[in-house]
Structure formats: C-alpha cells, structure tokens
Structure 1
C-alpha cells in the first residue's frame, strides 16, 4: 500500500507500507496524528524505516495501492 503525503514548503513524501496494512487502521492513525498541529505522523515502510511528518506541515494525504504502471526498472 502506498501513502503519499503532501508537505507544505516541500514536495511529497511517499511511503510504501507492507501489503498487509489495514487501510481502516491506517486512516485512524492518520486522523489521530492530524487532529492537532503539535502532533507527528509516524509511518513505518516495508523495509522497517520510520518516517515522521509534523502534522502542522501536512497539506494532504493520499492512500492507495501500489500501481505497477508507475514502476520503473527491470523485471521478469
């Protein structure tokens, strides 16, 4: 599952979450983090890296499935 976060005064932060991520639980986590400007949205990507975005800097959040049409590279 992909999450794209628009950040003010920057571009975007894109995080690839594990495929088994529960979309409802993810949305609840995002809602809680964005409920106040003094909070931080923490996400852990599929490689175990943690990403933090201050809620006061979030312009938008887009939740979706990874799209194979956007992938670049070599594959079999």
Structure 2
C-alpha cells in the first residue's frame, strides 16, 4: 500500500510502502491525531519506522502502489 504524507513546513512529501491495509493505516493515523501532540508512527515494508509529530501532519494519501513503467513506450 502506498502512503503519501504531507508535513507542514517541509518542501517534500514523505512517500512509503506499507504492508498494512487502508483501514489499519487510517485507524493508526486517527489515533495519533486524536492525541494532539503525540507522534504518528508508521512502519514501511522493510521494517523501518517513520515518526512524524502529529500536529505537523498536513495530509495523508492512502492508495494502491503504482506500477513502474519500463521501456521507451512508457509515458
């Protein structure tokens, strides 16, 4: 599952791949945002943890991973 996270005052979004379902990701994000000044903690498919201050989260986009296009005809 591809997750894009926009962080306030950061020029680029964070993009990661997760093994969690969209519902699990949504509940994790909702729990972190309810705490107010807590941390949003997510784990990617390689076991790395990403920690973001919950009060700095601008948006989160949860979607299917896009397949990589290869070759000269891929536009």
Aligned to 1:17: 18
Aligned to 1:8: 8
Q: How far, CA to CA, are the matches of 2:60 and 2:8 in structure 1?
A: 12
Equivalences for residues 47-58 of structure 1 within 5 A: 47-58=46-57
TM-score under structure 2 length normalisation = 0.82
Aligned to 1:41: 40
Runs of 5+ unmatched residues, structure 2: none
RMSD: 1.6
SS at match of 1:34: helix
SS at match of 1:26: helix
Number of residue pairs aligned between Structure 1 and Structure 2? 70
Shift of residue 72 of structure 1? Answer: 6.3
Q: Say whether the 8 Å CA contact 1:41–1:55 is kept in structure 2.
A: yes
Shift of residue 23 of structure 1? Answer: 1.6
TM-score under structure 1 length normalisation = 0.81
Equivalences for residues 49-68 of structure 1 within 5 A: 49-68=48-67
The structure that has the greater radius of gyration is 2
Give the ranges of 4+ consecutive aligned residues of structure 1 lying more than 4 Å apart after TM superposition: none
